[in-house]
Structure 1
């Protein structure tokens, strides 16, 4: 008698590991760049002289930060695909799973592009307008270009997590708040002060780690209410009464 092949090995990579690895590599890119240069990366809203002074004298910091940032995008893309598969396995057929996948892939792609632009800047030390343009593009792709779709990834998990009770209500609600703030970073293109919202990326990455821990692997692990007490056996009860 033949048995059906086991599907246990098709669960994909651990979501917690992917989320934690992407977060750790991104944080490492910030720390390594600051340690290599002895200062923080200048804002695109800083004076041109300050920006050029950093961009033309810190090629090693730019390369190192770009390498780690590029590396962090890889597990983020894998996480998006794995979350999409997990949500489908949990029975999510609403657009949320697709939104999570699209948001994660776009976010990872934007982060990769930002990292590659950093590497490009490290190769050209001349203080000219092109370097400032590259710096602006690095900010746009690594800022709102990364954070806005990252918010879609969070929302794509939080909404079905709330509606289908795949996540604890406080976790899902926090994800929705984070997603809304992430989408508001779009205003950075119009209002420079909106850039202060960009650090919501750290809340989003942390939330993804928490969600990866709490998201059940399959529907059998979804917590349900206490089982109802079995109905009394009327036949045996009537027999005993006789």
Structure 2
């Protein structure tokens, strides 16, 4: 069969419509950072207290800065929505690019759970802004522990799965620059190691490292990941017949 020009033309996989990944990454990162910055400014420079700190300081913070805590919860809950959309979109993008390995599903699972953990943390935090809750110190401690466990360890560990779910197929399939993909794997490793925070309070230092580098990586990945993947069809050359073979068959 003789190859035609159309056979030799690059074949592009059909691109499924979806929101731009890079913009989604920017939106949820800005909303998340705004929750930290705005609440800190409203609280006069005081940051959200660590659950490992003294009880008196923790209770004083929530009693004195209820508005800041409420705004922080609102903005972080808002950030969880575009994060979930990002996870769904990047999973569909990878499958559209021909990725059939578990990476796309791992990324989707990690992203959805990271979004859910962030939303839960935001709601626990918002509850801490209610005056009636602050009358019960035991309830305040319980809610703060839940806010930290979900928005800290829980969110970051699953954020690492989202990063790994993009980085691994992005590296193996050549969809992302190799150094960038390897950096994503390193970030994912730190994120998974932050699980130790539940046993060792000193491991909490891993949380901001994995969180902020992970957010920056996801924004960059959203702009770098291609929408289409070019390949060429398998074209076999047309068989040729020598003059001697023609004489023998005639």
> What is the TM-score normalised by the length of structure 1?
0.87
Alignment partner of 1:32 is 2:38 = yes
Offset, 1:58? 1.2
Q: Is the partner of 2:49 in helix, strand or coil?
A: coil
Distance 1:139 1:112 in 2: 12
RMSD of Structure 2 on Structure 1 (CA): 1.8
Q: Are the counterparts in 2 of residues 159 and 172 from structure 1 also a CA contact under 8 Å?
A: yes
Matched, 1:53 2:70: no
Whether contact under 8 Å (1:100, 1:157) holds in the other structure is: yes
Equivalent residue, structure 2, for 1:86: 93
Higher Rg of the two aligned structures: 2
User: Quick one: distance in 2 between partners of 1:127 and 1:48?
Assistant: 12
Consecutive unaligned residues in structure 1, runs of 5 or more: 1-6, 225-233, 235-242
Q: Distance in 1 between matches of 2:140 and 2:164?
A: 35
Aligned residue number for residue 152 of structure 1: 161
**Is this contact kept in 2: 1:148–1:186, CA < 8 A?**
yes
Per the normalisation by structure 2, the TM-score is 0.84
Q: Are 1:57 and 1:125, in contact at CA under 8 Å, matched by a contact in 2?
A: no
Question: 2 CA distance for matches of 1:11 and 1:188?
Answer: 40
Select which of 203, 218, 223 maps to 1:194.
203
**Count of matched residue pairs:** 218
CA distance in 2, matches of 1:31, 1:47: 23
More relative contact order, 1 or 2 (CA 8 Å, 6+ apart): 2
**Deviation (angstroms), 1:150:** 0.3
Indicate the residue corresponding to 1:41 in structure 2.
Answer: 48
Q: CA deviation at 1:56?
A: 1.7
d(CA) in 1 for partners of 2:204, 2:92: 33
